[in-house]
Amino acid sequence: MPRTVLIVDDHEPFRRRARALLEAEGFEVVGEAEDGASALRAAAELMPQLVLLDVQLPDIDGFEVAERLRVLEKRPAVVLTSSRDGKDYARCIECSGARGFVPKAELSGAALSALLT
C-alpha cells in the first residue's frame, strides 16, 4: 500500500490537519501543495506513492491535475477529496483516473487504505 503522500489543498488548515492525521496513522507526508501547478511540480520532483488531491483548487481543478499525473513515469495513486459530497463528482472521479474519493470530514488512514488495496 502507498505510504508516501503529497497533500494538495488550497486551505493550509486542512493540509495541517491531514498531515497530522496521516502521519499519526503511519503515512509519510513528503510534501504539500496549494494549487494544481505546484502539485504537478511537486509530484514530479518528490515522486509520492499517493497524492491526496482537493477537487477545487484555485488554478487547475483536481480532476485535471489527476489526469495530468497519469503521464508521470512513476505515476502516483490519486485520491480526490472535497468538503462536498462525492456523489456530486461521481462521473468526473471515474474519468480522472483517481482511485476514488474521500470526503474531507471522513479522511483517515483506513479510508485511504480501503481505496488503495
Q: List per-residue pLDDT tens for the chain, 117 residues long.
A: 559 999 999 999 999 999 999 999 999 999 999 999 999 999 999 999 999 999 999 999 999 999 999 999 999 999 999 998 777 777 788 888 899 999 999 999 999 999 988
pTM for this model (two decimals)? 0.94
Whether residue 115 is contained in a domain is answered as: no
> In terms of residue numbers, what domain contains 102?
4-107
Nine-digit cell at 3?
Answer: 505510504
Whether residue 114 is contained in a domain is answered as: no
Whether residue 90 is contained in a domain is answered as: yes
Number of structural domains in the chain = 1
**8 vs 55: CA distance, rounded Å:** 9
Whether residue 84 is contained in a domain is answered as: yes
Whether residue 103 is contained in a domain is answered as: yes
CATH assignment of the domain containing 100: 3.40.50.2300
**13 vs 92: CA distance, rounded Å:** 26
Residue linked to cell 488512514: 109
Is the CB of residue 63 less than 8 Å from the CB of residue 96? yes
Whether residue 48 is contained in a domain is answered as: yes
**87 vs 80: CA distance, rounded Å:** 12
